[in-house]
Every structure is written in C-alpha cells, then in structure tokens.
Amino acid sequence: MDLLENERIDDLQYEGLKVIQNKNSFCFGVDSVLLSDFAKEIKRNSIVVDIGTGTGIIGLLLCKKTNLRKIYGVEIQKDVADMAKRSVRLNQLEDKFEIINCDICQILDFLEPNLVDCVVTNPPYKKANTGFKNEDETQTIARHEVKCTLEDVVQQASKLLKDKGEFYMVHRAERLVDIMCLLRKYRLEPKKVRFVHSKPKEKPNLILVKAIKFANSFLKISEPLVIYDENGNETEEIRQIYGR
C-alpha cells in the first residue's frame, strides 16, 4: 500500500484491522471507538451510512463488530476520503464498505431516501465560532461546524432512514439539549443515552445517543461508561471494547 507524505498505517489491534492516517491532521480518538461499540447491536444485513466518516475508523470497526450488509462512509474532504478508500482496500473490505466523497447535504444524490437501516455519526462537536482555531483546515472541519451543523447531520439522517431505522451518535455532553431538540424535530425519537466519564467522580464529557425514526417515546438512561479508574488505569469495560 503506497503512502503519501506524513501518512502512516496504524494497527487497530482488533480483528487484524489497520487504518491509514496523516500524522499532521486529525486522527481518530476514543469517541469513534466507543461509538462503534455502542452501535454493535446493528441488525444483521443492515444498510448503514456513516455521516462524516473521516478516515473510516467507525465503518472499519463495524464491518467486524456486526453482520451489516453494506456501509457507506460520507466524507466531504477529498484527501481524507481518499485515505479512507485506501484503508478500505488495505483491509480488503471493498465488498462491504464504500466511501462517498460529497457534502452530506447532497447525499441524496447518491443514496435513496427512506431506505437506510442505520445511520452512525461522530460529527464536529464545536459550533463554528467557538473554541480555538489554531489547527489546520482538516482539523478545523473535523472539530467545528464549518461544513455541516448538528442540525444538518440529524436532518440528513432522518431523510435517509426507513421507518424504525436506527440512529447512533457520539457528541459532547454539554450539547445534550441541542441533540434532543433536533432529534424530536426530525422525527428521530431518543431511545437510549449513555454518559461517558474520564474518571468515576468527574463530570461526563461525552454522550452516546441512540434514536429510532417514528418510534414511541421512551428513553433509557444506561449506566455511565468510565474510561479510567481512580488510579488512572483503563477500566475493564474499556479494555474489552478495545479488545485488549
């Protein structure tokens, strides 16, 4: 596999998976790994769309963690989408994982509406005019709502999903109110929420959300997911999620 300048191949240490990343750009973090585990209950033979796939980490993991039929990774940045395509080939998953290089608001030019079984997404967390902007353009687009907003993501997911289709997202915990309001607005009923804490006594910094299109209202709050124990060691659950 040919690599471009500043690119490297990282071993995910899970089912032999590897991913190509650019060390000078935005690389995947624990949030993507947690989302792939949260969404592993995806039904057999599902058609899945990963909105904002980045280097394809979530799609790669879901290809091994689930029995999905096909996953489409949507990525607006051409160079990042190219990296994802090469990671798909590196893992010989071309029959299951396809990368679409487009703006998410144009996704219906490539996929039919109301036919997708599941949408997963790890979208930009920060609003366009907040936070530090001293990173490069790739990092800015990945972290800030520059090319798409949270509402864009939820709206396009609703358009793609079939009746009772599933939506899985990881986001910052402080955006919970925004998330719930937008899900209801676009007919995606929140069904399960799980808060993620760095340590047991710290406030949550991430939130995992599952919603179902046109479902009845009933929300389950799952027990918190804690990454490190009081001594700074990974918890047993995190070790299992990473396959250690």
Look at residue 1 and tell me if it is in a domain: no
Q: What angle do CA 142, 146, 120 make, to 5 degrees?
A: 50
**Amino acid 25: pLDDT:** 80
Phi/psi region, residue 202 (left: phi>0; alpha: psi -120 to 50; beta: rest), is beta
For residue 213, the enclosing domain spans 29-82+94-241
53-80 core/surface letters (b: 16 or more CB in 10 A; e: else): bbbbbbbbbbbbbbebebbbbbbbbeeb
The average pLDDT across 75-94 equals 96
**Amino acid 130: pLDDT:** 53
Of the two residues 176 and 26, the one the predictor is more confident about is 176
Cα–Cα distance between 185 and 135 in angstroms, integer? 33
Among 235, 236, 227, 232, which Cα is nearest to 208's?
A: 227
Which amino acid would we find at residue 31? D
Look at residue 174 and tell me if it is in a domain: yes
Look at residue 24 and tell me if it is in a domain: no
The average pLDDT across 93-109 equals 96
* % of the chain residues with pLDDT over 90: 81
Question: pLDDT tens digit string along 9-55?
Answer: 999 989 999 999 998 887 888 999 999 999 999 999 999 999 999 99
Cα–Cα distance between 159 and 93 in angstroms, integer? 26
Which residues sit opposite 238 in a β-bridge? none
Phi, psi of 136, rounded to the nearest 5 degrees: -75, 175
**Amino acid 151: pLDDT:** 96
pLDDT exceeds 60 at position 98: yes
Chain CA centroid to CA 67, Å: 17
**Amino acid 136: pLDDT:** 56
Look at residue 88 and tell me if it is in a domain: no
Look at residue 20 and tell me if it is in a domain: no
pLDDT exceeds 90 at position 133: no
Number of structural domains found in the chain: 1
Question: pLDDT tens digit string along 134-164?
Answer: 555 555 444 534 468 999 999 999 999 999 9
Per the prediction, the chain carries an average pLDDT of: 91
pTM above 0.85, yes or no: yes
**Amino acid 23: pLDDT:** 84
Per the CB < 8 A criterion, the answer to whether 97 and 48 are in contact is no
The number of beta carbons lying within 10 Å of the beta carbon of residue 189 is 17
Q: What is the CATH number of the domain that holds 40?
A: 3.40.50.150
Look at residue 166 and tell me if it is in a domain: yes
Q: List the single range of 1-15, 58-72, 172-186 with lowest mean pLDDT.
A: 1-15
Look at residue 76 and tell me if it is in a domain: yes
Look at residue 7 and tell me if it is in a domain: no
